Amino acid sequence: MAEKFDFLQTKEVKDFNQELEKYDLGPLWEAIPELMHHRPKPQAEAYLWKGEVLQKKLMEAANIFTPERGGERRAIYLQNPGLKYRQPWGWASTTQTLYAAVQLLLPGEKAPSHRHWQNAQRFVTHGEGAYTIVQGQRIFMKEGSFLITPGGLWHGHEHVGDKPMIWMDILDIPMVYSIGGTFFDHYPDLLEQPSLPDDFGSQRYEGGVVRPISDRHSHIAPVGCYRWEGTLAAIEGLSRFEPDPYDGYAVEYYNPSNGETANPTMATWMQKLPKGFHTKAHRHTHAVIYNVFKGSGYSVIDGVKFEWTEGDYFVIPNWALHEHVAYEDTFLFSTSDLPIMEKFNLERSEALDTGNGRQEIKSEFKPKTL
Amino acid sequence: MAEKFDFLQTKEVKDFNQELEKYDLGPLWEAIPELMHHRPKPQAEAYLWKGEVLQKKLMEAANIFTPERGGERRAIYLQNPGLKYRQPWGWASTTQTLYAAVQLLLPGEKAPSHRHWQNAQRFVTHGEGAYTIVQGQRIFMKEGSFLITPGGLWHGHEHVGDKPMIWMDILDIPMVYSIGGTFFDHYPDLLEQPSLPDDFGSQRYEGGVVRPISDRHSHIAPVGCYRWEGTLAAIEGLSRFEPDPYDGYAVEYYNPSNGETANPTMATWMQKLPKGFHTKAHRHTHAVIYNVFKGSGYSVIDGVKFEWTEGDYFVIPNWALHEHVAYEDTFLFSTSDLPIMEKFNLERSEALDTGNGRQEIKSEFKPKTL
Amino acid sequence: MAEKFDFLQTKEVKDFNQELEKYDLGPLWEAIPELMHHRPKPQAEAYLWKGEVLQKKLMEAANIFTPERGGERRAIYLQNPGLKYRQPWGWASTTQTLYAAVQLLLPGEKAPSHRHWQNAQRFVTHGEGAYTIVQGQRIFMKEGSFLITPGGLWHGHEHVGDKPMIWMDILDIPMVYSIGGTFFDHYPDLLEQPSLPDDFGSQRYEGGVVRPISDRHSHIAPVGCYRWEGTLAAIEGLSRFEPDPYDGYAVEYYNPSNGETANPTMATWMQKLPKGFHTKAHRHTHAVIYNVFKGSGYSVIDGVKFEWTEGDYFVIPNWALHEHVAYEDTFLFSTSDLPIMEKFNLERSEALDTGNGRQEIKSEFKPKTL
Amino acid sequence: MAEKFDFLQTKEVKDFNQELEKYDLGPLWEAIPELMHHRPKPQAEAYLWKGEVLQKKLMEAANIFTPERGGERRAIYLQNPGLKYRQPWGWASTTQTLYAAVQLLLPGEKAPSHRHWQNAQRFVTHGEGAYTIVQGQRIFMKEGSFLITPGGLWHGHEHVGDKPMIWMDILDIPMVYSIGGTFFDHYPDLLEQPSLPDDFGSQRYEGGVVRPISDRHSHIAPVGCYRWEGTLAAIEGLSRFEPDPYDGYAVEYYNPSNGETANPTMATWMQKLPKGFHTKAHRHTHAVIYNVFKGSGYSVIDGVKFEWTEGDYFVIPNWALHEHVAYEDTFLFSTSDLPIMEKFNLERSEALDTGNGRQEIKSEFKPKTL
Ligand SMILES: [Fe+2]
Ligand SMILES: [Fe+2]
Ligand SMILES: [Fe+2]
Ligand SMILES: [Fe+2]
Ligand SMILES: [Fe+2]
Ligand SMILES: [Fe+2]
Ligand SMILES: [Fe+2]
Ligand SMILES: [Fe+2]
């Protein structure tokens, strides 16, 4: 039933379709071929946003949205052009399921505490000295920190340092909006006050593959912040051996109390591509949002070349063939909806088996620039 | 951040929002208040379709779509008016996540075998004598049969009986379309040929709470068809005791090999409301699609009265307060997305604690009629 | 390390072994070869107890142990001769892990309520009219009933009928004694009083593969009693198809709320062997205790023939090759420690691949008779 | 039924008991009170072995058991006196379920590769330079290394360094012997040859709470060796905060691919008790085997004082009240059967709520000395 038949173009059929619509009914023969594709055909497109555009727009926003004027979070999200048709506001979709944004917090500013059942996480790309307070624990951020606030946890921010801070936010907003289960509460006060030691979670995990005995049963966010030093050391250890042909030297942030991904609906990875490394091409059901944390290079996505430099953001949609090339030692931070695909038994992958596993480049993507 | 501030209405802000859009960026301050509600605000509406409309339109469709003219499945889906804005084809959405349709198969007709990763199920409301062939097993259908074809199983239909058959189909099409992971394959031949005994699954489960020893480890669809006789006997046993205040005498179809719901993404229930029974009102995150299998009565959904008679279909959206009243002994068949909510830790419920747990009726729904 | 070397027979070694013992130390070189066998070598033996011996001894016990004289349960357990060396009381071991006994309750007698963390279950072989009261629910027993009282549930018995009742008890006493985790409490009163409807659990499960909606999440013992009628109907349905080559038409009692075995540490099966059926031989890590509920025939266990008639009990130890032959339509009730093996990843099985899958009979077992 | 009644002392009863024994039957009225205790009453005793005894005996064993004379592993196990009655060889029981031994490997010696379904692990207390080869991966050992070889993995040892090495072995031998499921195979060659990089597992886990992406799904032993440096760093991080009242600063070795304990049946901990620290007393169902890795102090176990110094080994049996006191900064390595208790829902614990949570010392244990 995944194709349309010629007969469906006749006036008889079209008239009948319109008749159905009057009764709030729909014709399977029209809809199913467009909704049940033979292979995943996301509406999300492969896309790339330049880091300097984001930085410039955030700085402009800083002039408009000041604490006095009421903005709670000064963030600009990455709107996938293919998903603008989702109304309202494109469901703030960067991929089919995930939202990504870039947030600016200036010295002295506060972002009030709240909680929601969307899972949230942050990756710090610039600055240091601000903290997030999550369930009474202040977590100080700096470049390379990865922070999680799974659904239901109170969280707010304050910048007690002296230079602007920029981080990336990723949430499962579109997915939760799509299924219809959102809850949101403001904290009674502006900012929750500390009730735990600062950086409690990450300090409890400074060593080997051991966990405090109180973390031996599954619970959310035993580690609230995964520090760059540890992530880098892990990648360096891994780099003594053979790289993964598709992802180089890649690690996943996980929850030590249950072995699941750090955040339940998102898989978050840091990967190193050494200078000159050229991955093989493959595709998979899950879609990925990247930040070029360090380095430069390009990706080929379904035959289109996407050049990227430090600070850029890009998206690989579901089932798009992709490969990466690094011009210099490169670190890519990424978040995908792999756990969502796995929960629904929808994860599939496929390697390109022609051209030595590399795609032919057919065109080049032109990102919007200032 | 779930409210908009006055300042956001200024020209300065609106200009900036437009500036962002040029770069395929979006303003968090606009989008989040509309996407992250304080409590679930689905776009799906409470709605009711009359059974006679569906039957009439199916019969008309039978004149247009004949096997010679290529329609693979002659089905008309229930399009929730609140979700028509989802393009294309309203994503065939009856609720935020689920598709429901009514299908007609005439004596002698065949619906070709195919498979897809959407989970599908059927509830037979009229007729008998057709079979579905699922992974080589012919399953004969009659009124009250509940059949499942979880994602990935080959399935096709043939009507070898002599009267029209009508059944309800429910699939997780909108959810899979939303996350972007659809796969679909045609069977090499028109219809798969039998390789297992007819009705193998249901014949292996004719007795008590025991399972064939080969079903002691988790696998999909050990029972392909849940017969009406067994469901009715179960409800009758249950009816000797106190009813559930919100659902009367209600049972769930389940998978005996793992104790999960029969179909992984859908919870499917049959419930009896004895004559005169008036449930208490509650609401929950999951949304429900109902078929009035037998009986008549009404539901009050967020203060609106929905009268229903045998053969009607109606929807209770996420988080809508609802209660049911039966004019006569009534059997309601229903499917919800409860397992989806549970997988994402989004299931919540709340009882109405005023007015003795009953709502005040503020208006009455007028269904579309012929 | 699983063999002993000649050198170990020298005086030098023997002296050293004795020297170690003084310090409460042990010589790996001696112990490991006897404790870590190449293949499972249980101390439990294949064994058979005649039903008439049990009945006679129970009747004699009835003259000695009367309610006035203090016996709480009048039960005689099946002591595996190979496990008598386990002290005290052979750990009441019928197999390495399980205890089986036969219990007699006379009209008017009561067995006081208590609870323990050993999992217990009962299979009724003679009589009717007594009830067990489990967590406030009276469960009436008759021939063929299978009842469970998983660890931690209060349970007591009373016989309100007029003929003697005999049932088989199976508990995981030896395993819990071995690991050292037993808890036991007396109920404050002699017998718990009813707080739920009689036979509540089994009445809620009289129909098909559906469950009351309140049982959709995992909990213990939603069904307290599995009635013979349902078990028989299930086996009859199954009997329309090909039998399992090793077990004929066999079903397992399970927990409908989670798809696990009815009792967490024991797998309990009822199997039908039609007249003349001769199974193929295989062996597996788990050990099995059988009751010949109806019929007669024999089993060949590691080359030894064990003839059995209705009412007999026999044991197949871990890893013993076994096959069954039925002289007439036969129903075998059995309990094994399969879930224990599975929890420890120790379940293995192997089919006999010589002699057309049948063993050569080398000798015949002579059971003790009156 | 957990007590014996006076009537049971009569000749009538005793005669009947003997009569039963003739038929390989057993009297519930005798056995159950001794097997189903009100609270756990293990046969294992609290006990302590001096490190110097073990070292001396191992050195003596080195003169007797040389590679030419055939000993595969030169290990002496800790035989709990309370479990000597288990025949043969006390089942090599240090606790009800676990075996612990101390092993000596001299420079140039080899211990042949083999595999078994008992789970094994090692903790290195003296020396360095030997390696274990596990499934083709050479893992080099030094003081403080914790190594695992879960059931089914090939493993052998070779000492390529120049000083004697001593380590502690812990296996679940008694439990597997008790339930009856042991399998053991010799490797075809003396020692398996390397097929993976040396220390592959631990090098892949040198950083933070991240894992190589190939370890995102559950598998056994992704980390084969947990190095002392990482364990120590973790404990130091933890030491900035409040200690656990019962265990000080304690961490558990875990499997990063699934969040379970490193070895499926054993929980293994390293705990630091700072100088002068005195824990509160509690008891729990699981039993614990300790090695005093560094430091000195004493434990009070059921009112008996056990003094310990570096290198000693001691046992806390199931449900024994215990507390620890450190004379100096102390590191205790321990292994318990907590996962076994959890698998059977038998884990319970209880704090001492009198005497400010500390026991009165009633006597002092005298260990055997040279
Ligand atoms: Fe937030
Ligand atoms: Fe990829
Ligand atoms: Fe289909
Ligand atoms: Fe409801
Ligand atoms: Fe009992
Ligand atoms: Fe068997
Ligand atoms: Fe070994
Ligand atoms: Fe303890």
Report CA Rg, chain C: 22
Residue D99 has a pLDDT of 98
- DSSP readout, D143-192? TT-EEEE-TT--EEEEE-SSS-EEEEEEE-HHHHHHHT---EEE-SSSSP
Q: How far apart are the first and last CA of chain C?
A: 46
Residue B7 has a pLDDT of 80
Q: How far apart are CA C133 and CA C130, in angstroms?
A: 10
CB contact under 8 A, C88 and D34: yes
User: Taking CB atoms and an 8 Å cutoff, what residues of chain C touch D151?
Assistant: 345-346
Query: Using the 8-state DSSP alphabet, how is residue D9 labeled?
Result: G
Q: How far apart are CA B101 and CA B96, in angstroms?
A: 15
Helix, strand or coil, per DSSP, at residue B104: strand
Q: List the one residue out of C276, C316, C280, C279 whose CA is nearest residue C295.
A: C276
pLDDT at D361 over 50: yes
User: Taking CB atoms and an 8 Å cutoff, what residues of chain C touch B137?
Assistant: none
Neighbours of chain D (3+ CB pairs under 8 A): A, C
Of D223, D231, D247, the CB nearest to A207: D231
State the number of CA atoms in the 13 A half-sphere of A308 facing the CB: 29
What does the block give as tokens for D73? 């592993």
**Which pTM value belongs to this model?**
0.97
Q: How far apart are CA C63 and CA D129, in angstroms?
A: 72
Report yes or no on B32 lying in a domain.
no
Report yes or no on C104 lying in a domain.
yes
Cis previous bond, A88, omega within 30: yes
Q: How far apart are CA C179 and CA D342, in angstroms?
A: 12
pLDDT averaged over every residue in chain B: 96
CB contact under 8 A, A207 and D247: no
Of A211, A233, A261, the CB nearest to D206: A233
Q: List the one residue out of B4, B77, B84, B10 whose CA is nearest residue B44.
A: B84
pLDDT tens-digit profile of D45-59? Answer: 999 999 999 999 999
Report yes or no on A25 lying in a domain.
no
pLDDT averaged over every residue in chain C: 96
Cis previous bond, C88, omega within 30: yes
Give the mean pLDDT of D337-362.
97
Residue C2 has a pLDDT of 47
Proportion of chain B above pLDDT 90, given as a percent:
94
Report yes or no on B119 lying in a domain.
yes
Give the mean pLDDT of B141-158.
97
Give the mean pLDDT of B118-124.
98
Q: List the one residue out of D75, D185, D191 whose CA is nearest residue D133.
A: D191
Q: B107 and B159 in contact (C-beta within 8 Å)?
A: yes
Q: C96 and D181 in contact (C-beta within 8 Å)?
A: no
- The CATH code of the domain that includes C50 is 2.60.120.10
Domain span at residue C324? 42-364
Q: List the one residue out of D101, D172, D144 whose CA is nearest residue D270.
A: D144
Distance from CA of C231 to the nearest CA of B (A): 5
Report yes or no on A10 lying in a domain.
no
Q: How far apart are CA D145 and CA C251, in angstroms?
A: 49
Q: D231 and D202 in contact (C-beta within 8 Å)?
A: no
Which range has the worst mean pLDDT, B4-18, C173-187, C286-300?
B4-18
Give me the torsion for CA of C115, C120, C123, C128, rounded to 10°.
Answer: 0
User: Taking CB atoms and an 8 Å cutoff, what residues of chain B touch A65?
Assistant: 29
Helix, strand or coil, per DSSP, at residue D78: strand
CB contact under 8 A, C206 and B250: no
Q: Considering only residues C97 and D2, tell me which one the structure prediction assigns the higher pLDDT.
A: C97
Report yes or no on A37 lying in a domain.
no
For B57-83, b/e burial (b = at least 16 CB within 10 A) is bbeebbebbeeeeebbbbbbbbbbebb
CB contact under 8 A, B179 and A97: yes
Ligand 5 center to C113 CA (angstroms): 8
pLDDT interval class at A7 (50, 70, 90): confident
C-alpha dist (Å) from residue A312 to A279, A288, B82, C9: 19, 14, 37, 75
Residues in chain D: 370
pLDDT tens-digit profile of A208-228? Answer: 999 999 999 999 999 999 999
Q: How far apart are CA D48 and CA C207, in angstroms?
A: 59
Ligand 5 center to C155 CA (angstroms): 7
CB contact B24 to A (< 8 Å): yes
User: Taking CB atoms and an 8 Å cutoff, what residues of chain D touch C61?
Assistant: 16
Around Cβ B356, how many Cβ atoms within 10 Å?
A: 8
Report yes or no on C23 lying in a domain.
no
Q: How far apart are CA C187 and CA D179, in angstroms?
A: 31
Residue C71 has a pLDDT of 63
pLDDT tens-digit profile of D250-294? Answer: 999 999 999 999 999 999 999 999 999 999 999 999 999 999 999
C-alpha dist (Å) from residue D26 to A162, A235, C130, C173, C216: 81, 63, 24, 14, 41
Report yes or no on A267 lying in a domain.
yes
Give the mean pLDDT of D19-29.
96
Neighbours of chain A (3+ CB pairs under 8 A): B, D
Residue B73 has a pLDDT of 87
pLDDT at A1 over 90: no
pLDDT averaged over every residue in chain D: 96
Of D206, D235, D241, the CB nearest to A234: D206
Q: List the one residue out of B294, B318, B322 whose CA is nearest residue B306.
A: B322
Around Cβ A68, how many Cβ atoms within 10 Å?
A: 7
Residue B6 has a pLDDT of 76
Strand partners, D336: D267, D288
pLDDT interval class at D1 (50, 70, 90): very low
Which residues 6+ apart lie within 8 Å of B322 measured at CB? B281, B282, B283, B299, B300, B301, B302, B316
pLDDT tens-digit profile of A166-186? Answer: 999 999 999 999 999 899 999
Identity of the amino acid at A266: M
Q: How far apart are CA A363 and CA D128, in angstroms?
A: 58
Around Cβ D9, how many Cβ atoms within 10 Å?
A: 9
Q: D364 and D304 in contact (C-beta within 8 Å)?
A: yes
What does the block give as tokens for C54? 């049990």
Into how many domains does chain B fold?
A: 1
CB contact D10 to A (< 8 Å): no
pLDDT at A2 over 50: no
pLDDT at D304 over 70: yes
User: Taking CB atoms and an 8 Å cutoff, what residues of chain B touch A21?
Assistant: 79
User: Taking CB atoms and an 8 Å cutoff, what residues of chain A touch D247?
Assistant: 213
Residue A66 has a pLDDT of 77
Q: Please report how the helices C51-64 and D11-22 are oriented relative to each other, as an axis angle in degrees rounded to 10.
A: 180
Phi, psi (deg, nearest 5) at residue D210: -135, 155
C-alpha dist (Å) from residue D11 to A110, A302, C64, D15: 85, 90, 11, 6
Which residues 189-228 of B are in CB contact (within 8 Å) with C?
197, 200, 203-214, 216, 218, 223, 226-227
Query: Using the 8-state DSSP alphabet, how is residue B61 labeled?
Result: H
For chains A and B, tell me whether 3 or more CB atom pairs sit within 8 A of each other: yes
pLDDT at B2 over 50: no
pLDDT interval class at B71 (50, 70, 90): low
Proportion of chain D above pLDDT 70, given as a percent:
97
pLDDT at C1 over 50: no
User: Taking CB atoms and an 8 Å cutoff, what residues of chain C touch B250?
Assistant: 212-213
Give the mean pLDDT of C232-256.
98
Of D218, D237, D260, the CB nearest to A204: D237
pLDDT averaged over every residue in chain A: 96
CB contact under 8 A, C24 and D85: no
